[in-house]
Amino acid sequence: PPGLAVGGAVGGLLGAWMTSGQFKPIPQILMELPPAEQQKLFKEAMAIIRHLEWTDAVQLTALVMGSEALQQQLLAMLVNYITKELRAEIQYDD
């Protein structure tokens, strides 16, 4: 599904510390979200990548990973959601 492709394209870039202090990687957090929240994120991501032409997850991932601007836009959207909606702290893996 496109949502998994979008999540996979940016999800591997981050780790999040939940406010309880328990570390969870972003892909795990995304998979544990209720369907309505996953759909909300999907719509926000699609608004960013709408102009791209792609046919499968592999092609979409390649397009996103080949564009610093797209990565930054998707990352900003994800960071905003995690910090504002989930009230989690984000720690970048160096």
Query: What's the pLDDT tens digit per position in 36-87?
Result: 999 999 999 999 999 999 999 999 999 999 999 999 999 899 989 988 988 8
Question: Domain locations in the chain?
Answer: 2-91
Contact yes or no for 50/74 (Cβ under 8 A): no
Neighbours of 5 (CB within 10 A): 18
Model pTM score: 0.71
Res. 91 pLDDT band, cuts 50 70 90:
confident
φ, ψ for residue 30, nearest 5 deg: -65, -40
CB within 8 Å of 45: residues ≥ 6 apart: 3, 6, 7, 74, 77
Q: Contact, 29 vs 82, CB < 8 A?
A: yes
